[in-house]
Structure 1
Amino acid sequence: MIEIENNLEAVENALWLLKRGPTGLQRPQRGKRGNHPSTPIIMALQNRAAILRRSADVIPQGENWRAVHDPG
């Protein structure tokens, strides 16, 4: 699901919940995160956010976007 998410705000909100949210959702303290199930999820979210930020900067969404960037 993370790989296909296109909403940067949703990805950033998920990261916030896992890093700073309520006690039940927060990742463990440093030194105890290595094998925790949230670690690969946080990494995937951070990577997806970086991709979405980079895409937003490179490809403008305007009237001609489809004509220039859509291979179909």
Structure 2
Amino acid sequence: MKRKKPVTPEFVPETVVPSELLEQAKKSLESDKMPRRPVKCIVCSSDVAPNSAENLCWVCRRLKISAWRDSDPQMTAQE
């Protein structure tokens, strides 16, 4: 098994991404971290997940999905 050779000062990899672009990316990430007003669940008034489009907390969302799953077999039995 061969060992890695230490990096010599002669071989320094050049930067691939310009520093201006890196600074711009860092600034855009900082704006994403700004605190937003927490949205409340429309059923139980708990905090909603930031990526939720239906304004439900994770518990109410799981309950809704379970209710849909339980009601589907009943719909086919009634037909």
Per the normalisation by structure 1, the TM-score is 0.30
Larger RCO: Structure 1 or Structure 2 (Cα < 8 Å, ≥ 6 residues apart)? Answer: 1
- Structure number with greater Rg is 2
Whose helix proportion is higher, 1 or 2? Answer: 1
